[in-house]
Structure 1
Amino acid sequence: MISQKLNKNQKRAVKTTDGPLLIIAGPGSGKTFTLVERIYYLITEKNVEPENILVSTFTEKTAKELMTRVSNRLNEDNIQFNLNEMYLGTIHSICLRLLEENREFTRLKKNFILMDQFDQQYFIYQKSYQYEKITGSELILGNRSRWKKAEELLKWINKVSEEMLSVDELKKSPEPQIQALGQCYELYQQHLEEENALDFSTIQLEASRLLRNHPEIQESLNEKIDYLMIDEYQDTNTIQEEIIFLLAGKKNNVCVVGDDDQGLYRFRGATIRNILEFPKKFEEEKCTQIELSVNYRSHPSIVQFYNQWMEQQSWHYENKSFRFDKKIVPAERSYYGREGVIKASGSDGRNDWYEEVYQFLISMREKGELKDWNQIAFLFRSVRNPKVVGLANYLEEREISVYSPRSNMFFDREEIRLLIGAIMFLFPQLPEVRKWNENAYLEEWEMYDQCFLEFTNELRKPENAKLLKWARKKAKAHYNLAENTDYAFAGLFYQLLQFNLFNKYLESETSYIIDSRPVRNLSLFSQLLTKFEYLHRVSVFTPKNINQLLRAFFNQYLRFLINGGINEYEDDSEYAPSGCVSFLTIHQSKGLEFPIVIVGSLESTPRKQYSDLDEVLQENYYHKNPFEPLNRTKYYDFWRLYYTAFSRAQNLLVLSCQENKASGQGTRNVPSKSFVDSYTPLKSWRHVDDIYKLEIDEIKDVNIKKEYSFTSHINVFETCALQYKFYKELDFSPVRHGATLFGTLVHQTIEDIHKAAIRGEEGKITKERIDEWFYANYNNLIKKERVHLAPTTKEAALSQVKHYVERQNNDWSHIKDAEVDVSLVKDEYVLKGTIDLIKGQDNTVDIIDFKSEKKPDLVKEQDTIYHYKRQLEIYAHLVEERTGQQVNNMHLYYTGEDNSNPYVTFPKDGKSIDHTISKFDRIVERIEEKDYSIEKRPVKQCQNCDMRFYCNQKFKE
């Protein structure tokens, strides 16, 4: 039975399942609660299967939280349901799943590369000269640096993808700028195909093409997916809307949820028209519209404040309204008439904003009900603004910790500056490398020089004598490099961790995010180094490449990262860390709530966010006529932005600025004209005694179940808990080795063979076709991993595959499924695995796992066999619990075994499986409790572990 806590409109939203439904969900109106109950209702009352439901969320974090809440809700009633069969995730992740499930119908090959925004921009930068040769490209790229040109081109390329503009039409345009854009886009797509790569925009474009160009796939999905729920619909773009309707098919059981007043992502291509025009997509009165307008989050005066903010704005233009007419009402809750909206600002002419904010915080802690600094969040238009960074520093100097992961302070952190200084010290040739162009001045070198100075100051200290000795020796070797090293930048990074100057940060890691920031930053730096080596296809320093790599690293890569800014670590499960006030952008705060919200950036004014090229594209090349008038969009976006900020507050909303009355040219009024009517009537915190009596809520826990698999988690933890800590928990990026390339290559080629057999194409499993699969997999793997196999090793891998095929005697009837991703939502975590299935006796299935090695001695290496047996038992548990199919036998198949029987077979033993699952549960419990203690080092594994330098020092070996 659905929850009795649902209000009338929430209950109606839950039970309206057939046909199109628009849910306008105001702030704090129980939207997620309603979605959870709606999914629960479909499962329990409508008997819908998991694969028949698609739920799209705005972020992966929201998807995980939703999955956790639904699974907990089902567990309350002991209902078995495999949520992982649902299409649940962001639109990007759902599209990626569709592409992976139907890859053979797309341009993508195995092991395709998925680029983030930095990768995409760097990818364009590295090929920028090709784009600059296109006639008219200067009209798009402008007279900028190559990096800025890449940034500009990236923006327009993504827009073409998101708006699904016709490249042929662009190329035929009479305007040279539009022609050039079409040709640049065409070249970019060619580059993507050559690299077997995807970016976030083309994920959607490829999914759209898949559905439009292959009606049989669309029809299959239409038959399967009965119900769609799309959250945050106001922030969808043109191509996302098309994909949603392609998946919905003729059933049109599409429920979209959102709030047009919180549409924030026009700059990413989102269009508010999707939610405002949704009812018009269907015949009149076919679309049900439900409003969730009761705010369960905020103090009544906060609700009144942001209602007035929206009502005083002008949403009508030329007889059209660009907002749903609504009014949010507070839930019945007693606040005894206390003030819920105040101001805490510096007085005009006194320059005392920092101190005023500080005094307000201290007063709330000493006189009020504030228990933890994490109950307070500051929201700004940008946390990288110098005044905002200044406020953060002011508070931290007075022992109020600030959590601000997007403040662009990564390169200001002590641990990062010392690392940059150390790398500079290790390469004495840098002064020559720096002079790569006598006419070029790179201001980043001033920062580098300061880092170098800070590092050398540390080297003079007696406790760093070992580091000094080691660093001098390395520097001398690098300056006169005569032969190849066995490392590049990432390898050097791990060697530096053996010294106290850096390993002290590894030891400082605690359960508090603010205390673990240094080690998290070291982890992020390791990721940046391995990414550089990946992008430049380098694994070692050579006499020929060393100077070139130094030039690329300092003058390009590191410089671009500094300019673009690096976000520090954010924990999905703890958005407001204990002991810190949060400094967030308003965009970052979307979907969150805080007991006390302090909104700054009150000097802001509406800003134009479109260019002449935007205007031309909208007027002449978009698939739809312009919706909102372009000259009004800056106002609409501004009003929505601050509405979102104001509505994050639960108990107290504070507006804050350094007040200023413009006294002449170059000065301006603060707060700006946009805020005056709302700001002026507010009382200063110093004149409102009631705020100290205000009950302050605690930050709500974010309950997210983590995913664990035997090979990626339990195996690593059992091998070495410290290795797990660094590589899995802290996300240090290991220097890539080719050890797993061999096994992956064998596995992937066998998977191709099995899938051909499953499709009934046994006749295609020929020596020639096996060669094609093998070398295609190899070429795409080395492109992705930047690691090669020696010719003899490659031949050995191919030989293993062919030997396996020969042993089957062209009989593939036993193959049931290949490389199936299976997951099971358990009480405390999600269990995952990738499994090959073969047909067993009497409608049972057998599990088979391939090992690309020789069969071990079953007596002498029984520990290894037992380890693999436990892995198979996990798989058996997954298959039986998730699919209901009974497992008969479990097999290991050793593809490297030439002479004897390659199989090791275990009959399924229920008691043994229960024991293995119990042990799995205990290890997960240790991981969740962050217990990474080890009794002794696993010597064999240490030899190839990047953390060995640190561990040698830690264990004094």
Structure 2
Amino acid sequence: MTGATSTLQSKANSQQLEAILATNGPVLIIAGPGSGKTFTLVERVVYLITQKGVAPESLFVVTFTDKAARELTTRISTRLSDLGIKFNLNEMYLGTFHSICLRILEDFREFTRLKRSFTLFDQFDQQYFLYQRINEFRSLPDAQLVMGDDQTGRWAQSEHLLKWLNKVSEEALNLADLEAALDVEVRALGACFRKYHELLHENNCLDFSGIQYEALQLLEKRPEVLGQLREKFSYLMVDEYQDTNTIQERILLLLAGDRGNLCVVGDDDQGLYRFRGATIRNILEFPTLFGEGQCKRVTLSVNYRSHPDIIRFYNEWMQDQTWDDGTRSFRFSKKIVPRDNEFPDVPTAVRLAAKDASDDNANWHSEVLAFLNSLKASGRLSDWNQVAFLFRSVKNDRVVALARFLETEGVPVYSPRSNMFFEREEIRLMIGALIFLFPQFPKVRQWAEGAQLDIWTYYDHTCFKPFTDELRKPENKRLLDWARPLAKRHAVLAQNTDYAISGLFYQLLQFPLFSRFLSEEALLGVDKGRAARNLGTFSKLLTKFEYLHYVSVLNPEFLEKNLRDLFNQFLRFLSDGGIGEYEDEAEYAPKGCVSFLTVHQSKGLEFPVVVCGSLEAVPRKQHAALDEILEDGGYLSKARFEPLVHIKQFDFRRLFYTAFSRAQNLLVLAAQERNGRGLGKSPSKYFERLFYALPSWRDVPMGEITLEAVKEIALKREYSFTSHITVFENCAEQYRFFKELEFAPIRESPMLFGTLVHQTIEDIHKTVLRGDEGTITFDAIKGWFSTNYAMLSKKERVYLAPSSQQAALLHVMRYYERENGNWDRIKEAEVEISLVKDQYILKGSVDLLRGEGDTVEIIDFKSEKKPDMEKDRNRLRQYQHQLEVYAHLVEERTGQKVSRMHLYYTGEDGGNPYVSFTKDERAIGKTIADFDEIVNRIEIKDYQISARPTKLCQNCDMRPYCDNKDWNFRKTQK
């Protein structure tokens, strides 16, 4: 046994070790709550690399969320770094299903329907896209059977349509079968799906579920691509397998091929995402996909998280349900057991209950507060973030009322998905300000006879009135003096302005009414910059609106329509659909706050104290009539698995099992008791027996329960030279707004010219590297150029004059003429490289040339004329630093020696287009040290600058804010 394996065996329990060492063939790991699943996955990866000699780039590792992917990346990279193993994170396919499928599509884009620079939709983009084109679907035969009739309204129709279109993608249904179906509803669904894909293709767009659909199409229709990927991936691992869907299973089985090294990890008791197309059958039937005895099954049943009393309680909860129908079982038999340890000999699963008359919440609120104060008084609670309240929904009126009550009593509440975004003061005041700036707003409300929108009351009383009340205060006189004449101008606007609504947003930030939310003090306070981040989100919403509605300036001809679209549609639908506030991936339980989360949000997390509400809940059906038609008609790839009559009970048990098992030290079942009339019975009959068998929290000595601190998540952030370091060096304040707080810049030129030149040169390089240099002709280059321009201009809504297009094409042609015949120098194109540092991950992208001997040379393209070597020496020095970082990355990652570094100026039409640098090891060391210092400043949020960079200020959206800021400069350390 090697030393590494011996060390591993001392850390892992026997079940974990069995899972880690089971590497060949199909493996199913059933991982109960708190059983060390992530540890096992990390050590399995490390074992494959260190003991089995597997190259990191031949591993395919899938997680369920971006946060989980980042945590896994951090832990794997740290372990390998500690072992002195150098590897490129970018070469390992590690991420969510969607991110990995997207990467495959981008790697093999020429084999797909997608053009370069395609637009990727989030869920709101997708629904809004459907909403704007709903008439095209209404005209399809029987479409109302899929999306509801016209009386339900365009937004509701788009919501229904979105659900069914995503189901077709997630289930990988055969479009031809749908269109030829006997059932009229199914034929209508097929017609809607075909129309939708025509629209996506026409607009070069891709939606979230479509990422996987397109990836499956690519693998099934292009055997050469599938062959390359099968050759590349020797081992596949999938986390949270109970939440995978049909299309994901098909993709995995295709990639695993005959080699069959597919390891899936999950817990069938925690399957929560049926409403997103997930099917529990994938994990339950996994062993049957292979021959008898081929699939190794390991169960991790030791819980390292929870007190034994909590484990006892949720084991009993699952045993209350019958999990078979007499012929098949719909759950793996298992019993979770606690770790060997000394535990406090007190009950740690307790109940919290209070009765109230009808809609009065006074007793309930008081009892919850009394419990929290008792915890604090016990001396065991060191921070409110040790407490998490879990609910079926945090948008429920009673949940929101409880959160508001606790905040008034001095208990801060963190609830990012409770639809509070539009209730936040900074958002209400900003909307009120925008309404004030457009006196024609009353006309906007007369857009349809008899129309009455609920949101108008919100605008009037919650936004506009508070803003005008603020305007009357002496401290806001400067804002009034600015806003009043501007509003008068907008009322009688006669010609185009040079700004749009987003421009007004940035102007408003200069005034104390809004700038107070953006100060360094606000970002460091208890609120942790929550208001500033919400304003950043609002900036993104405004720029998204302007993009979707082709608004670049205020135009008198379209102004009223633009305002109707913004206030009566866009913001209204965001408000109705709910928009989450900022969530920090690196801190799921912000200090100083109790958390109000949905059970789904809490998945994969753990808290010392969990208060589980929503005990009035009962099982509810999640399928519709069309689901039954699709299942019974044989349109799905597999016949029905779980009996429809039992699904809602199964899913109900799994949901609350997930909630109960988040608790480490104390689980509290909380019910606002009701007898069943009016608002319904609470706790419902499904909880009643177990609930009243628990002791009251008042009968348990809280001082005897040990409460652990909230687990720190050490997530390494990724930094690149151009996107982070250069931005921070140029202006730390600009970095704070546009990188840290994620404001959406509007004046930033999309650099269309340079991107166009870069993309077309990349087309040339990739053709060379495929061995097809003979196909590169002037006509081929023109074709690539035209396609790139069409897609870029369509996506960015920015256009080049014909003369500028010709100039950009000339840059490419000049490069081709100069380099034609020297293509053997091209070694790799657009190489993504990364380096794992102690505190962060350094990333870059370069082109490599073959150097003398076994060396390589780095080249970076600049689509401009060659600069004056003396006048522009500072800019050249910055470029040199960038190349030094890339050289460092290449050498550290690959072991290849970098002999030279070049800038290539495609705009140089006379002399030598190259500016070359020899590699200076001392300079590289200093550059990396400077890099480390800048990253450290970013990490500790030190954004102070010695002076404003006046040249950058001229075109910065934040200039009005900075012009009115009380600057206290200090010298930054270099």
TM-score exceeds 0.5 = yes
Task: Please give the residue correspondences for 1:593-612 in structure 2 after superposition, counting only pairs within 5 Å.
Answer: 593-612=606-625
Q: Is 2:813 the counterpart of 1:802?
A: yes
Match of 2:233 among 225, 228, 236: 225
User: Does the CA-based 8 Å contact 1:513-1:577 persist in structure 2?
Assistant: no
In the other structure, the counterpart of 1:624 is: 638
Task: Please give the residue correspondences for 1:784-803 in structure 2 after superposition, counting only pairs within 5 Å.
Answer: 784-803=795-814
In the other structure, the counterpart of 2:929 is: 918
Instruction: Give 1:91 deviation, angstroms.
Output: 0.8
Q: What is the alpha-carbon distance in structure 1 between the residues aligned to residue 523 and residue 750 of structure 2?
A: 33
Task: Please give the residue correspondences for 1:372-521 in structure 2 after superposition, counting only pairs within 5 Å.
Answer: 372-450=383-461, 451-507=463-519, 508-511=521-524, 514-521=527-534
Instruction: Give 1:172 deviation, angstroms.
Output: 1.3
In the other structure, the counterpart of 1:79 is: 85
3-state SS, counterpart of residue 917 of structure 2: strand
Instruction: Give 1:956 deviation, angstroms.
Output: 7.5
Match of 1:296 among 299, 304, 311: 304
Instruction: Give 1:483 deviation, angstroms.
Output: 1.6
- Identity between Structure 1 and Structure 2 (%): 59
Instruction: Give 1:175 deviation, angstroms.
Output: 2.0
User: Does the CA-based 8 Å contact 1:112-1:197 persist in structure 2?
Assistant: yes
Q: How many residues in Structure 1 have an aligned counterpart in Structure 2?
A: 954
Q: What is the alpha-carbon distance in structure 2 between the residues aligned to residue 318 and residue 169 of structure 1?
A: 34
Task: Please give the residue correspondences for 1:517-596 in structure 2 after superposition, counting only pairs within 5 Å.
Answer: 517-596=530-609
Task: Please give the residue correspondences for 1:199-238 in structure 2 after superposition, counting only pairs within 5 Å.
Answer: 199-238=207-246
Q: What is the alpha-carbon distance in structure 2 between the residues aligned to residue 320 and residue 822 of structure 1?
A: 49
User: Does the CA-based 8 Å contact 2:32-2:302 persist in structure 1?
Assistant: yes
Q: What is the alpha-carbon distance in structure 2 between the residues aligned to residue 139 and residue 252 of structure 1?
A: 42
User: Does the CA-based 8 Å contact 2:20-2:41 persist in structure 1?
Assistant: yes
Match of 2:100 among 94, 103, 118: 94
Q: What is the CA deviation profile of residues 698-737 of structure 1, one whole-angstrom value per residue up to 9, with x for unaligned ones?
A: 0010011100000000000000000001111111111154
Match of 2:275 among 267, 275, 279: 267
Q: What is the alpha-carbon distance in structure 2 between the residues aligned to residue 279 and residue 176 of structure 1?
A: 37
Q: What is the CA deviation profile of residues 293-332 of structure 1, one whole-angstrom value per residue up to 9, with x for unaligned ones?
A: 0001000000000000001111111421100010000111
3-state SS, counterpart of residue 390 of structure 2: strand
Q: Which has the higher mean CA deviation after the structures are superposed, 512-521 or 257-266?
A: 512-521
Instruction: Give 1:504 deviation, angstroms.
Output: 0.6
3-state SS, counterpart of residue 515 of structure 1: coil
3-state SS, counterpart of residue 63 of structure 1: helix
Instruction: Give 1:84 deviation, angstroms.
Output: 3.0
Q: What is the CA deviation profile of residues 657-684 of structure 1, one whole-angstrom value per residue up to 9, with x for unaligned ones?
A: 111123x5x3532100010121011111
In the other structure, the counterpart of 1:674 is: 686
Q: What is the alpha-carbon distance in structure 2 between the residues aligned to residue 148 and residue 623 of structure 1?
A: 29
Q: Is 2:54 the counterpart of 1:41?
A: no
Structure 2 CA distance for partners of 1:89 and 1:850, relative to 1, 3 Å: same
Match of 1:908 among 902, 919, 940: 919
Q: Which has the higher mean CA deviation after the structures are superposed, 667-676 or 632-641?
A: 667-676
Q: What is the alpha-carbon distance in structure 2 between the residues aligned to residue 956 and residue 245 of structure 1?
A: 60
Match of 2:661 among 603, 622, 647: 647
Q: What is the alpha-carbon distance in structure 2 between the residues aligned to residue 529 and residue 577 of structure 1?
A: 28
Q: What is the alpha-carbon distance in structure 2 between the residues aligned to residue 810 and residue 149 of structure 1?
A: 58
Q: Is 2:319 the counterpart of 1:306?
A: no
Amino acid at match of 1:753: I
TM-score of the pair, normalised by structure 1: 0.98
Match of 1:175 among 173, 180, 183: 183
In the other structure, the counterpart of 2:876 is: 865
User: Does the CA-based 8 Å contact 2:344-2:705 persist in structure 1?
Assistant: no
Match of 1:811 among 801, 822, 825: 822
Q: What is the CA deviation profile of residues 436-476 of structure 1, one whole-angstrom value per residue up to 9, with x for unaligned ones?
A: 11221111111111211111011011111111111112111
Q: Is 2:259 the counterpart of 1:251?
A: yes
Instruction: Give 1:510 deviation, angstroms.
Output: 2.5
Structure 2 CA distance for partners of 1:28 and 1:196, relative to 1, 3 Å: same
Instruction: Give 1:579 deviation, angstroms.
Output: 0.2
In the other structure, the counterpart of 2:111 is: 105
Instruction: Give 1:174 deviation, angstroms.
Output: 2.0
CA RMSD, aligned part only? 1.3
3-state SS, counterpart of residue 506 of structure 1: coil
Q: What is the alpha-carbon distance in structure 1 between the residues aligned to residue 750 and residue 547 of structure 2?
A: 17
Instruction: Give 1:346 deviation, angstroms.
Output: 1.1
Q: What is the CA deviation profile of residues 247-282 of structure 1, one whole-angstrom value per residue up to 9, with x for unaligned ones?
A: 111111111000000000000000000000000011
Amino acid at match of 1:196: N
Q: What is the alpha-carbon distance in structure 2 between the residues aligned to residue 926 and residue 336 of structure 1?
A: 43
Structure 2 CA distance for partners of 1:696 and 1:289, relative to 1, 3 Å: same
In the other structure, the counterpart of 1:341 is: 349
3-state SS, counterpart of residue 136 of structure 1: coil
Q: Which has the higher mean CA deviation after the structures are superposed, 371-380 or 30-39?
A: 30-39
Q: Which has the higher mean CA deviation after the structures are superposed, 846-855 or 574-583?
A: 846-855
Structure 2 CA distance for partners of 1:70 and 1:667, relative to 1, 3 Å: closer
Amino acid at match of 1:499: F
User: Does the CA-based 8 Å contact 1:368-1:693 persist in structure 2?
Assistant: no
Amino acid at match of 1:459: L
3-state SS, counterpart of residue 830 of structure 1: strand
Q: What is the alpha-carbon distance in structure 2 between the residues aligned to residue 808 and residue 74 of structure 1?
A: 40
Q: What is the CA deviation profile of residues 367-410 of structure 1, one whole-angstrom value per residue up to 9, with x for unaligned ones?
A: 24001000000000000000000000000000100000000000
Structure 2 CA distance for partners of 1:35 and 1:327, relative to 1, 3 Å: same
Q: Is 2:889 the counterpart of 1:875?
A: no
Amino acid at match of 1:465: K
Q: What is the CA deviation profile of residues 549-603 of structure 1, one whole-angstrom value per residue up to 9, with x for unaligned ones?
A: 1011011101100000000000000000000000000000000000000000000
Amino acid at match of 1:844: T
Instruction: Give 1:542 deviation, angstroms.
Output: 1.1
User: Does the CA-based 8 Å contact 1:817-1:838 persist in structure 2?
Assistant: yes
In the other structure, the counterpart of 1:834 is: 845
Q: What is the CA deviation profile of residues 836-883 of structure 1, one whole-angstrom value per residue up to 9, with x for unaligned ones?
A: 111111121111111111111111211111000001111111111112
In the other structure, the counterpart of 1:28 is: 34
Q: What is the alpha-carbon distance in structure 1 between the residues aligned to residue 908 and residue 308 of structure 2?
A: 73
User: Does the CA-based 8 Å contact 1:348-1:661 persist in structure 2?
Assistant: no
Q: What is the alpha-carbon distance in structure 1 between the residues aligned to residue 666 and residue 179 of structure 2?
A: 55
User: Does the CA-based 8 Å contact 1:514-1:577 persist in structure 2?
Assistant: no
Q: What is the alpha-carbon distance in structure 2 between the residues aligned to residue 445 and residue 739 of structure 1?
A: 36
Q: Is 2:178 the counterpart of 1:163?
A: no
User: Does the CA-based 8 Å contact 2:764-2:776 persist in structure 1?
Assistant: yes
Structure 2 CA distance for partners of 1:5 and 1:512, relative to 1, 3 Å: farther
Instruction: Give 1:793 deviation, angstroms.
Output: 2.2
3-state SS, counterpart of residue 479 of structure 2: helix
Amino acid at match of 2:27: L
Q: What is the alpha-carbon distance in structure 1 between the residues aligned to residue 29 and residue 427 of structure 2?
A: 47
Q: What is the alpha-carbon distance in structure 2 between the residues aligned to residue 113 and residue 641 of structure 1?
A: 35
Instruction: Give 1:806 deviation, angstroms.
Output: 2.1
Q: What is the alpha-carbon distance in structure 1 between the residues aligned to residue 886 and residue 510 of structure 2?
A: 39
Amino acid at match of 1:637: D
Q: What is the CA deviation profile of residues 891-927 of structure 1, one whole-angstrom value per residue up to 9, with x for unaligned ones?
A: 0011112222111000112221111111111111111
Task: Please give the residue correspondences for 1:87-166 in structure 2 after superposition, counting only pairs within 5 Å.
Answer: 87-143=93-149, 144-166=152-174
Task: Please give the residue correspondences for 1:312-351 in structure 2 after superposition, counting only pairs within 5 Å.
Answer: 312-347=320-355, 349=357, 351=361
Instruction: Give 1:799 deviation, angstroms.
Output: 1.8
Amino acid at match of 2:290: F
3-state SS, counterpart of residue 345 of structure 1: strand
Q: Is 2:254 the counterpart of 1:240?
A: no
